[in-house]
């Protein structure tokens, strides 16, 4: 315990306190000997990093519980399936830097439920660099993260319906099942329709503001 506390830059008393609060997993025991490993050290450094970023111990405890019960990254990413997205590996501290005080246990749970986040050892894996960057930009623009995630859930439902539509049309009317062709055509149609829909909605909003 003394060696672990020294490597983490904390006191043994603090380490005991963290363990009593459930902030770190119990050590592996062999008789009367308690064995701590690199995972314990990584968690202690995460706690220190989050405290430095203004998170409370209660908030960190909630995050730790959510983190420990999170979905495995293989389940989230669907290993073996083709994808255009680039996953991003993050420490809990880096995730907190993206979303600051909105990186709460509730939002972390919602992100895992959506399949945005998975757990791989001591790291968090976000399924998509594009979604991560867009979500962070929206939060910085003033949109609460829970609203971003709620919108993401609705977008997911519509995206699934659109994907079903395109797959059904191509399988019904063509003999070419090339997934890259499907992606290209689907992107072209959806991008064009979304662009025109935004034009209409923004024009209507501007007109309403002028009334």
Q: Which of 52, 73, 93 is the last residue of a domain?
A: 52
How does pLDDT run across 98-149, given as a tens digit for each residue?
988 888 888 888 888 888 888 777 778 888 999 999 999 999 999 999 999 9
For CA atoms 162, 166, 172, 173, the dihedral sign is positive
pLDDT of residue 79: 45
Q: What is the pLDDT of residues 161-191, one digit of tens each?
A: 999 998 888 888 877 667 777 888 889 999 9
pLDDT at 155 over 80: yes
Domain of residue 38: give its range: 1-52
In a domain, residue 86? The reply is: no
Q: How many domains does the chain have?
A: 2
pTM equals 0.71
Contact, 79 vs 117, CB < 8 A? Answer: no
Residue 194 has pLDDT above 90, yes or no: yes
Q: Is the pLDDT of residue 158 over 60?
A: yes
Q: Evaluate whether residue 16 is within a structural domain.
A: yes
How many Cα atoms are found within 13 Å in the side-chain-facing hemisphere of 187? 7
């Amino acid at each position: 315990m003394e060696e672990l506390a020294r490597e983490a830059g904390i006191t043994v008393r603090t380490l005991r306190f963290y363990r009593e609060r459930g902030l770190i997993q119990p050590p592996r025991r062999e008789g009367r000997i308690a064995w701590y490993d690199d995972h314990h050290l990584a968690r202690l450094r995460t706690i220190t990093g989050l405290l430095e970023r203004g998170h409370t111990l209660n908030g960190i405890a909630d995050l730790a519980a959510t983190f420990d019960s999170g979905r495995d990254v293989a389940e989230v990413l669907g290993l073996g399936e083709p994808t255009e997205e680039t996953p991003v590996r993050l420490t809990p501290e880096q995730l907190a830097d993206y979303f600051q005080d909105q990186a709460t246990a509730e939002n972390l749970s919602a992100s895992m439920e959506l399949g945005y986040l998975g757990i791989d050892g001591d790291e968090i894996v976000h399924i998509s660099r594009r979604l991560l960057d867009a979500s962070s930009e929206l939060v910085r623009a003033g949109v609460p993260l829970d609203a971003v995630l709620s919108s993401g859930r609705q977008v997911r439902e519509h995206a699934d319906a659109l994907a079903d539509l395109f797959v059904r049309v191509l399988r019904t009317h063509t003999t070419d099942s090339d997934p890259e062709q499907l992606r290209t055509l689907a992107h072209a149609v959806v991008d064009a329709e979304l662009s025109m829909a935004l034009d209409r909605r923004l024009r209507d909003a501007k007109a309403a503001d002028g009334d």
